[in-house]
Amino acid sequence: MPRNRLQRSNFLCILIGIVIFVIIFVVAGSLALYWCSEEEVEEPDVPPSNLVELPDCQCPPFKLMDQDDIRKNTRGQYLRNLQTWNPIIEHNTEYPCWFNIECQAVPGVSSYFTILFRSNGNPIYINRVINNQSTFVPQPREIGDFKCAQHTDGSYQWHFHNYPMTDVGFACQADVDSCHCPHIETEDPKGVGVQRRFREAPDQCYLYTAYCDTDDYYDVYVPFLYSKHTVIYNGPDKHNTFYDDLICIKEDSNVFNWYYSNKKLEDVDIKCGTIAEEFRIERVCSCEPFTVISKIEKLAKYKHSRVWRYIGQELGENSWKEDGKFNITCDEGFTGVVFSDNYDPIVLSGNYITCAYNPLSNDLHMWVVDSIRVINPAGGCFKKL
């Protein structure tokens, strides 16, 4: 009997051992599985909420820029003090890289811009709303000449006018300070006339339509927006000139300044003048003239510090002419360089230069060079370094 009992307890012992073993195995196994599966869940990158990924599109996600991102954006930081909020980006699964963009009003703000940022260029204004109403076509907006394409290094990048942009981001930014900005002078012996657009908008002073009725026998007068170091010409319509890129910005010092696109202005006035006087040529098309640098002296008007290194350099033959869309072609050993009032010198990539529609209005045009919007550009062929 005792032997039997011993056998039974032996058997029980083994059974309990097996049960405990199985329990430990199951618990440890499932713990391990749980741990592993948790690792797995964490692995696919869940995009941070400030990235907008277009599924099935090979181009990088867009960043929704906040004020801190804008402060760190080299070419866009002049916009850092504007109230900023996120746009809505809509896409269509049928066309993976297609999207449109909309900025909706936020409390207390009825006038604002939709702005594109990137790390390799200045911001582009996409849409302007005044008093809750888009000044051009209604939102949501698409962007002309904007596409996903393969870069020369094989990667997919967003392209604007056929040139790759890096780290593309979007933001909505308030435009409510214009009545704090310096007075825009419109006293003019040549008789510029101005009319306030959007009279009902309480946050918009100096948003004018300008016109000139003072033709004399020889000359046609058109409105120009003058600043200390630049003159803005906005197309040939002398009875209906307006400046949608003009924005009032508060600096860190609490001083308010006018900017035209990314160009800071000083002592702003609107006056009538002639194309011949301003540009020393007979006539221009939709954009201001694109000057050929035939003599190094022509660089003197460009104030950017990086212009200086071109002043002592050898200038090549310019075998190109400005057109709506053109290339700067240079002799062997020389390369095209573009200078402007709002950007440092751009060494050309071989992409074309174009006088394109301004996204803010089909009545406005802008020069685009390697995706950069340039004001009063001039180009020339310089000896390759």
Ligand X SMILES: *[C@@H]1O[C@H](CO)[C@@H](O)[C@H](O)[C@H]1NC(C)=O
- Chain residues binding ligand X by CB under 6 A are 105, 110, 131-132, 325-327, 350, 352
Q: Give the nearest distance from C-beta 86 to ligand X in angstroms.
A: 16
Reading the block at residue 71, the tokens are: 């402060």
State the minimum distance, in angstroms, from the CB of residue 385 to ligand X: 22
Residue with smaller CB distance to ligand X, 325 or 384: 325
Of residues 129 and 360, the one with the C-beta less far from ligand X? 129
Q: Least separation, in Å, of the C-beta of 112 and ligand X?
A: 10
3-state secondary structure the chain: CHHHHHHHHHHHHHHHHHHHHHHHHHHHHHHHHHHHHHHHHHCCCCCCCCEECCCCCCCCCEEECCHHHHHCCCCCHHHCCCCEECCEEEEECCEEEEEEEECCCECCECCEEEEEECCCCCCEEEEEEECCEECCCCCCECCCCEEEEECCCCCEEEEECCEEECCCEEEEEECCCHHHCCCCECCCCCCEEEEECCCCCCCCCCCEEEEECCCCCCCCCEEEEEECCEEEECCCCCCCEECCCEEEEECCCCCEEEEECCEECCCCEEEEECHHHHHCCCCCCCCCCCEECCCHHHHHHCCCHHHHHHHCCCECCECCCCCCEECCCECCCEEEEEECCCCCCEECCCCCEEEEEECCEEEEEEEEECCEEECCCEEEEEECC
Q: Which is nearer to ligand X, 57 or 105 (CB)?
A: 105
CB of 75 to ligand X, least distance (A): 25
Minimum Å distance from CB 224 to ligand X? Answer: 29
- The nearest distance, CB 321 to ligand X, in angstroms, is 11
Our CB check for ligand X shows the closer of 109 and 210 to be 109
Q: Identify which of residues 145 and 269 has a Cβ nearer to ligand X in the complex.
A: 145
Residue nearer to ligand X on the CB measure, 84 or 342: 84
Minimum CB distance to ligand X, residue 104 (Å): 8
* Residue placing its CB nearer to ligand X in the complex, 302 or 320: 320
Q: How far is the CB of 336 from ligand X (least distance, A)?
A: 11
Closer of 111 and 122 to ligand X (Cβ): 111
